[in-house]
Amino acid sequence: MAHGIGLYFFSALADPAGRLSASDEPAGPPPAGPLPAGAPQPDDRAAYRLLLDAAVSADEQGLDFVWLPERHFTPFGGGHPNPAVLAAALAVRTTVIRIRAGSVVLPLHDPLRVAEEWAVVDNLSDGRVEVSSATGWNPRDFVLAPDGFADRADRARENWRTVQDLWARRPVTLSGPGDAEYSVLTYPRPVQPSLPHWITAGGSPGTFVHAGEVGAGLLTGYGTFAEERLVELIGLYRDAFAAHHGGRGRVSLMVHTAIGTDGARTRREAEGPLRRYLAAYLGQQDARTDPAVRARSLDFAVQRYLRGRSLIGDPTEVAAAMRRMYAAGADELACLVDFGLPRRTVLATVSELARLRADLTQQS
């Protein structure tokens, strides 16, 4: 199967300090205190306008897919509390590009609602839906389902089985009021006979193995791992997939992306938004980390991304980096383009990705 290139949307929202932005200018440094009374408030509509315009551009120019994550209670990706809602918007604005949830945090949701919502999107998109499932990791998110945190891995697997049954038009029996049992089947009927399934993997080797065992695609991040470790983890997935299903499976690698004619200038422009993005990411991992340690970790991470763990640079540099990622085991590159960059840079990057995809296709 040919290598693919698509988009991964983050929808960076400005918090009251302006730390992330989807406007036509990079976000400036945060003010020292709270915003004065009457000061302009962040406008989240800009992030959605950018998402829609970038997705339409990607569809028209021949990119393969868009990923939409699920995030809650933070401006760090907080534009995506329900990927099905945004997927429905993309479904009616696009015609060919695949529309993927990356991810649905299954322990947070009733699987009947997951099946219903994504069947709607499958109909609106004429059968272009795919879903990556995740277990979730942030305890704060589980205020939505407090009893789902402790056994979230098992619950994610159980809920996915229910979604699969409903999608395949197999009724499920569930308890209602007074412990009465009801056989239920969800509507609308989906277009696709089965729902293409991916699993989102962080750092746990067991998740990579599980994705292969169940025959799912694998969604993971490029910047998270050293190259050798990434190759090893993808190998675990490939081996498990081959042992249980034959074949190789499919790996989609999320990678931060910004492309400009001048590589050095593009890296300078991306450094501030990337720093804010990574600061928010590291802050979510463990808020108790010593600030000095976190600052050093942030400096290291920013330079690591700018020096090779991303697709940030000029077209020649990015094409070479793409080849390395494919060689490391990726089948697809899911390019995270909206992590706080100016709107014009994001849209120009989408166009350059389409050109690179055409070039790489011709060379393969």
Looking at residue 311, its pLDDT comes to 97
Looking at residue 23, its pLDDT comes to 39
Question: Kind of pairing, strands 4-8 and 311-313?
Answer: unpaired
pLDDT higher at 17 or 167? 167
**Of the candidate ranges 215-229, 296-310, 335-349, the one whose mean pLDDT is the lowest:** 296-310
**Phi, psi angle pair for 46, to nearest 5°:** -60, -35
Looking at residue 29, its pLDDT comes to 39
**What percentage of residues in the chain have a pLDDT greater than 70?**
89
Record the pTM: 0.90
Let me know: does 343 contact 47? Beta carbons within 8 Å.
Answer: no
**Phi, psi angle pair for 195, to nearest 5°:** -90, 115
Looking at residue 16, its pLDDT comes to 47
Looking at residue 20, its pLDDT comes to 47
Residue whose C-alpha is closest to residue 157's, from 115, 211, 112, 205: 211
Average pLDDT over residues 308-327: 95
Mean pLDDT, rounded, of the chain: 89
Is the pLDDT confidence value at 49 over 70?
yes
Q: What is the DSSP string of 151-174?
A: THHHHHHHHHHHHHHHHTT--EEE
Looking at residue 308, its pLDDT comes to 86
pLDDT, tens digit, 9 for 90 and up, residues 131-161: 999 999 889 999 999 999 999 999 999 999 9
The H or E element containing residue 256 is strand 251-259
Model confidence at 263, in pLDDT bands (50, 70, 90)? very high
Average pLDDT over residues 160-181: 96
Model confidence at 11, in pLDDT bands (50, 70, 90)? confident
Q: For residues 260 and 350, give the distance between their C-alpha atoms in angstroms, rounded to a whole number.
A: 11
Residue whose C-alpha is closest to residue 267's, from 232, 329, 209, 310: 310
Is the pLDDT confidence value at 37 over 60?
no
Let me know: does 195 contact 167? Beta carbons within 8 Å.
Answer: yes
Domains annotated for the chain, with CATH where assigned, are 4-27+42-363 (3.20.20.30)
